[in-house]
């Protein structure tokens, strides 16, 4: 999945004063979430009085940061190795870089012909562009921090959300590639065109986590380009419309189907886990 330009360069959330509910506008290059940890309440607040799952024990918030920093650390480590392997290739030793691309990026031929099924997951943690990495990691940090505020979002659920969105993002990417390849005419030998593109990036997870954040805190303000305040629900809806519009654009280098796959998992996870008796939040 290509660079998620529209989620890049996020600065820290600006805090709100409980006594005076004002939203200071902190400039940023793209947007700044504005929220109050004590003032905002998740959308899924109701619970069953008869369920012993209504009051689950809550781990320390530091445990959520262990998951968040772990995800960022894995992405960063793989990025640094990719830079090292690329430097080796530039010096005349291409084998490590070729092996890296075969095992850490998502390609239709590699998946179905060579059987590299693990690339459905490993490709989600792979970046080769610095701006791609920074944009995805900043967005991951602040979206994950936002959803972690909900008592029902345990560290295990946060990790499940990130991994599940990554996998469904890969499914969406491969599904679109399959549909495109099989829509092309065959040559004189009956062969269809080969896929020479490679999908990579944490964008599917970013969209999945962001969709849950929008469901939990739909009115949380986001400053687009540090100027225009936009609620979370409108921001994520806009992303979905944008990806849907360019979904079948063959000239686009963005993995729109991967974004939509991650987004779909996030919404489904919120509806099935965060609003179920196991995930409802105490009033």
Rounded distance between C-alpha atoms, residue 213 and residue 164, angstroms: 15
Rounded distance between C-alpha atoms, residue 18 and residue 2, angstroms: 40
pLDDT tens column, 214-267: 999 999 887 777 788 889 999 999 999 999 998 888 778 888 999 999 999 999
pLDDT at 170: 96
pLDDT at 57: 45
Decide if 23 contacts 221 (C-beta within 8 A): yes
The SS3 of residue 31 is strand
Rounded distance between C-alpha atoms, residue 143 and residue 206, angstroms: 8
Distances in whole angstroms, Cα of residue 70 to Cα of each of 16, 222, 224, 238, 246? 28, 25, 28, 29, 32
Give me the residues of the chain with pLDDT under 50, please: 1-59, 277-283
pLDDT at 107: 92
pTM across the whole model: 0.76
Q: Half-sphere exposure of residue 165, counting CA atoms within 13 Å on the CB side?
A: 32
Note the CATH number of domain 5-13+56-182+195-274. 1.20.1540.10
């Amino acid at each position: 999945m290509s660079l998620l330009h529209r989620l890049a360069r996020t600065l820290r959330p600006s805090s709100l004063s409980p006594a005076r509910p004002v939203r200071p506008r902190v400039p940023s290059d793209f947007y700044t979430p504005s929220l109050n940890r004590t003032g905002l309440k998740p959308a899924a607040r109701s619970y069953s009085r008869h369920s012993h799952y209504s009051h689950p024990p809550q781990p320390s918030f530091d445990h959520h940061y262990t998951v968040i920093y772990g995800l960022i650390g894995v992405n960063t480590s793989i990025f640094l190795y990719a830079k090292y392997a690329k430097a080796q290739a530039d010096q005349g030793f291409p084998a490590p870089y070729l092996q890296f691309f075969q095992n850490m990026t998502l390609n239709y031929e590699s998946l179905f012909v060579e059987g590299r099924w693990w690339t459905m997951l490993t490709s989600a943690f792979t970046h080769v562009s610095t701006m791609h990495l920074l944009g995805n990691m900043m967005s991951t940090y602040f979206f994950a921090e936002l959803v972690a505020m909900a008592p029902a979002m345990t560290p295990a659920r946060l990790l499940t959300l990130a991994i599940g969105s990554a996998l469904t993002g890969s499914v969406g990417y491969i599904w679109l590639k399959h549909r495109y390849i099989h829509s092309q005419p065959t040559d004189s030998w009956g062969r269809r065109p080969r896929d020479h593109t490679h999908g990579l990036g944490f964008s599917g997870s970013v969209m999945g986590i962001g969709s849950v954040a929008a469901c939990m805190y739909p009115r949380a303000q986001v400053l687009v380009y540090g100027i225009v305040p936009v609620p979370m629900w409108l921001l994520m809806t806009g992303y979905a419309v944008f990806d849907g519009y360019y979904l079948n654009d063959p000239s686009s280098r963005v993995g729109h189907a991967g974004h939509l796959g991650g987004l779909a998992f996030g919404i489904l996870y919120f509806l099935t886990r965060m609003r179920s008796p196991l995930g409802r939040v105490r009033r």
